Amino acid sequence: MPTSVQNQILRVNLSNGRIWTEKPGISFFRSHLGGRNVIAHYLLTEIPKGSDALDPVNRLVFAMGPVTGIALPGAGRHSVGAKSPLTGLFGESEAGGYWGSELKQAGWDGLVIEGKAETPVYLWIKDQVVEIRDARHLWGQVTGPVENRLREELGDTQVRVAQIGPAGENLVRYACIVNDLNEVAGRTGLGAVMGSKNLKAIAVRGSHRVEVSNTLPIKTTARWVSHETLGEGGSHHRLHTWGTGAMVRSKQLEGHLIVHNFRDGQLDHATDIDAITMQNKVVDHMDRCFACSVRCKKRVKIDTEQVKVDPKYGGPEYETLAAIGTNTGITDIMAVCKGNEMLNYLGLDSISAGATIAWAMEMAETGRFADQGLDKESLRFGSTESVLEMIEKIAYRKGVGDLLAEGSLRAAQIIGGDAEKYVVHVKGLEVAMHDPRAMKDMRDNYPITPTGGDHTGAGLKRTSVRNTVGLCQFLQYNDAKALELLNAATGWAMTPEELHETFERGLTLARLFNLREGMTADDDRLPDRLHEPIRMGPLTNHVLSRSEIRNYVAGYYEERGWDKEEGRPYTDTLAHLNIDIEEHDIADHTSERPDPLAVGTLPYKMSHDDSNGHAE
Amino acid sequence: MRIRIRPYADFGRFFSAEPGQTCVVSIEEGATVGDLLEAHGIEASVRVTLGVNNQLAARETQLKDGDNLEVLAPMSGGSTQ
Ligand code: SF4
């Protein structure tokens, strides 16, 4: 029977040059699906406890989902993971574009890289032929010229490239992995892991169509997206017309725009960088990811005397508009677009970069950066020069950039005093640009996400299922639709219960990895700043209490089948999920359920999301 | 009285406004924001964020001649895009 899962993981050891194929079996893919669940499996199974994230033993895992690469809107997603050099915990981030579907079309469901090359190299994957090639001539270059050079060298303009920029080479702890020049696996510092392995790029060309078991539901859904939902008033129309960034004005009025290191919820002239201004002033055209008719990706072109921005580096998404825009007090759209281009060609995560700069601005403003020679004039909220200069300094670890390249939490610990109190992070990862003081889904998300302050919902069912199946979060597919698409692609006839079980399995594996690496329940919390009221706007009297978060987290542990004090998985939960305690050396991080479960009761709470679906 | 409306997201279709543009509508004296929205087909059950003259407003907010009304998709409690 044709199926979209090819049962092939490409393994590469850069220390000894060994390349091999692993076939984990269809039952492995059925129980893990793909994305972050597959990543959690490899991290827990293969990385020795307590290893340094920049040591060659770290595994850099690229994982597609079962639907990645099929002809369906939203099916161009892949995930990247490793032990994070920023948090020391479960590191993972997902990206769109074309690279992941190309790797799938080359016949691979995943790619696991270990070891470290002696000198810079790149991987060339042409279907089943894989080579490790010299990349000394590419080292030190920014992303655009590297992609051009690789395409020239390989004699094929359709080659898809995932790569690091100078930031990854310089082991900036929040360097990202850039694919197709404008898509990034941004969070948790995976670019530094790639840099630590001396791996500059992975060039891919695949020539096979990914097979599916049943084309009809896939075709019908693709038609529904392009014919019905893209029309005015349809569920994808807003994204198609404006892209992300349409919410800047809503957040401004409601008073929870991210401003001045999360202190203020409003900023004068914030609409100068919203989606409408962008469309009117700088957007050249809207682009898309693989097979997606929604086309929500802004491509910005600026060609003035003062500023030039090349559309091949994309355009700022909402996170970047807020991170290097409002959070640093900038409302100059030209500067934000330039900053976005720099982040993409240098290979830096926009959220962590913007948040770290905003924290540094607050430190300079309050005199805590005097030893670094910075005061509120030299590093100032609202100064476009400060932001653009810092981005460059961080990527090349120049001057104070060397300190900020460590991430805001480490930098605060280095400068000492009470600097840590002002870092807006969860588990060492800078919090994304949505305020949990105003957004309940973020309150429910940040404290328990295994990666830390990430907004993509690794700890929540709806978002996690889409990641592991390989679907873009923006497509309005509900759980039933995601399951229908998964079954059509794979031919597995999975039930909602089995799909839910894969979510619990991946999350519990990530939890075990984190507990093994020293995380405790105390890390499942929000930073001090997010328990303070917002200084201006309609929410100034609203406080998010610590007890509200603690109660929520304890309830969340219980729903997962973990003990409610420490969040250690119960042994019966592990047995149900087929996670072997001996194999994973995790006995110290499990717990016994006080009262045995009644026969036939699930060890976790099953949930089902029916929102945002389409009725046919 | 005449009210200038800036509809965001997909709300332009209720006022025949081009994407990103404003338009002016008339409504009788004493009307609230809610009255105006319902007159244009945005029922009370539709969740919206509202601004009048750059301040957060509600459906109950009284309008006066020359006000600027913004109609937006709500973000609090909302989406992750
Ligand atoms: S909705 Fe946008 S981000 Fe998602 S796959 Fe389509 S084009 Fe890419």
| pLDDT tens-place string over residues A270-304 | 989 988 889 889 999 999 999 999 999 999 999 99
CA distance A201 to A194: 9
CB A268 within 8 A of CB A241: no
When pLDDT is averaged across residues B41-52 and rounded to a whole number, the result is 93
**Residues with Cβ < 8 Å from A307, sequence gap 6 or more?**
A334, A335, A337, A338
Question: Is there a domain that residue B47 lies in?
Answer: yes
- A614 has a pLDDT exceeding 50: no
- B77 has a pLDDT exceeding 80: no
pLDDT category, A230, cuts 50, 70, 90? confident
What is the model's pLDDT at position A328? 98
Which segment of A378-382, A389-393, A396-400, B8-12 scores lowest on mean pLDDT?
Answer: B8-12
What is the model's pLDDT at position A585? 81
When pLDDT is averaged across residues A208-235 and rounded to a whole number, the result is 90
- B81 has a pLDDT exceeding 60: no
What is the model's pLDDT at position A156? 98
Residue B76 has its nearest CB partner, among A246, A439, A463, at: A439
Question: Is there a domain that residue B54 lies in?
Answer: yes
Rounded CA Rg of chain B: 12
**Chain B CB contacts of A250 below 8 Å:** 8, 49, 72-75
Structure tokens at A285: 């055209």
Question: Is there a domain that residue B78 lies in?
Answer: no
CB A507 within 8 A of CB A459: yes
B18 interfacial to chain A (CB closer than 8 Å): no
Cβ contact (<8 Å) for A455 and B80?
yes
CA distance A162 to A125: 12
**Chain B CB contacts of A456 below 8 Å:** 80
- A245 has a pLDDT exceeding 80: no
Question: Is there a domain that residue B65 lies in?
Answer: yes
Q: What three-state secondary structure class fits A356?
A: helix
When pLDDT is averaged across residues A174-180 and rounded to a whole number, the result is 98
When pLDDT is averaged across residues A521-546 and rounded to a whole number, the result is 95
For ligand 1, whether the C-beta of A314 sits within 6 Å is: no
What is the model's pLDDT at position B21? 84
What is the model's pLDDT at position B79? 37
Structure tokens at B3: 């009210």
CA distance A468 to A484: 14
Q: Which atom of ligand 1 is nearest to the CA of A472?
A: 4
When pLDDT is averaged across residues A596-603 and rounded to a whole number, the result is 92
pTM over 0.80: yes
Question: Is there a domain that residue B81 lies in?
Answer: no
What is the model's pLDDT at position A223? 94
Instruction: Write the pLDDT tens digit of every residue in A484-505.
Output: 999 999 999 999 999 999 999 9
What is the model's pLDDT at position A616? 27
Residue A215 Cα to ligand 1 midpoint, Å, equals 21
Give the CA distances from residue A314 to residues A190, A289, A344, A581, B58, in Å, rounded to whole numbers and listed in that order.
Answer: 21, 12, 8, 45, 37
The interface pTM score, or ipTM, of the predicted complex is 0.89
Question: Is there a domain that residue B10 lies in?
Answer: yes
Summary mean pLDDT of chain A: 95
Q: How many CA atoms lie within 13 A of A588 on its CB side?
A: 10
CA distance A109 to A472: 17
What is the model's pLDDT at position B9? 77
Pairing between β-strand A302-303 and β-strand A308-309 as defined by DSSP bridges: antiparallel
Domain that holds residue B53: 2-72
For ligand 1, whether the C-beta of A286 sits within 6 Å is: no
Structure tokens at B1: 């009285």
B43 interfacial to chain A (CB closer than 8 Å): no
B19 vs A553 pLDDT, higher one? A553
CB A201 within 8 A of CB A60: no
What is the model's pLDDT at position A610? 58
Cβ contact (<8 Å) for B56 and A254?
yes
Closest CA to A345 of A157, A175, A153: A175
pLDDT category, A232, cuts 50, 70, 90? confident
The domains found in chain A, sorted by start residue, are 242-423 (1.10.569.10)
Instruction: Write the pLDDT tens digit of every residue in A408-459.
Output: 999 999 999 999 999 999 999 999 999 999 999 999 999 999 999 999 888 8
For chain A, percent of residues with pLDDT exceeding 90 = 88
- Best of A239, A247, A609 to disrupt the B interface (most B CBs within 10 Å) is A247
Instruction: Write the pLDDT tens digit of every residue in A120-160.
Output: 999 999 999 999 999 999 999 999 999 999 999 999 999 99
Which segment of A26-40, A85-99, A367-381, A490-504 scores lowest on mean pLDDT?
Answer: A367-381
Instruction: Write the pLDDT tens digit of every residue in A79-126.
Output: 999 999 999 999 999 999 999 999 999 999 999 999 999 999 999 999
Specify whether the backbone of A71 is left (phi greater than 0), alpha (psi in -120 to 50) or beta: beta
B41 interfacial to chain A (CB closer than 8 Å): no
Handedness of CA A139, A143, A148, A152 (dihedral sign): positive
Whichever domain contains B46, its CATH number is 3.10.20.30
pLDDT category, A229, cuts 50, 70, 90? confident
Q: Report phi then psi at B24, rounded to 5.
A: -115, 130
Q: Closest residue (by CA) to atom 2 of ligand 1? A: A296
Q: What three-state secondary structure class fits A67?
A: coil
Structure tokens at A255: 């008073």
Which segment of A208-217, A330-339, B72-81 scores lowest on mean pLDDT?
Answer: B72-81
When pLDDT is averaged across residues B37-62 and rounded to a whole number, the result is 94
Closest CA to A23 of A46, A41, A5, A36: A5
First-residue to last-residue Cα distance in chain A: 27
CA distance A466 to A486: 10
CB A524 within 8 A of CB A450: no
Question: Is there a domain that residue B68 lies in?
Answer: yes
Structure tokens at A269: 């002239």
What is the model's pLDDT at position A231? 79
Closest CA to A473 of A187, A94, A181: A94
What is the model's pLDDT at position A396? 98
Specify whether the backbone of A276 is left (phi greater than 0), alpha (psi in -120 to 50) or beta: alpha
Exposed / middle / buried, residue A64 (Cβ in 10 Å: 0-12, 13-18, 19+):
buried
Report the number of distinct structural domains present in chain B.
1
Q: Which atom of ligand 1 is nearest to the CA of A473?
A: 4
CA distance A281 to A346: 25
Which segment of A26-30, A559-563, A584-588 scores lowest on mean pLDDT?
Answer: A584-588
- B80 has a pLDDT exceeding 60: no
Q: How many CA atoms lie within 13 A of A567 on its CB side?
A: 31
When pLDDT is averaged across residues A594-612 and rounded to a whole number, the result is 83
Element (H, E) at A22: strand A18-22
Structure tokens at A128: 């089943």
Q: Report phi then psi at A121, rounded to 5.
A: -135, 165
CB A468 within 8 A of CB A65: yes
For ligand 1, whether the C-beta of A296 sits within 6 Å is: yes
Question: Is there a domain that residue B79 lies in?
Answer: no
Best mutation site among A285, A289, A298 for ligand 1 pocket (most ligand atoms within 8 Å of CB): A289
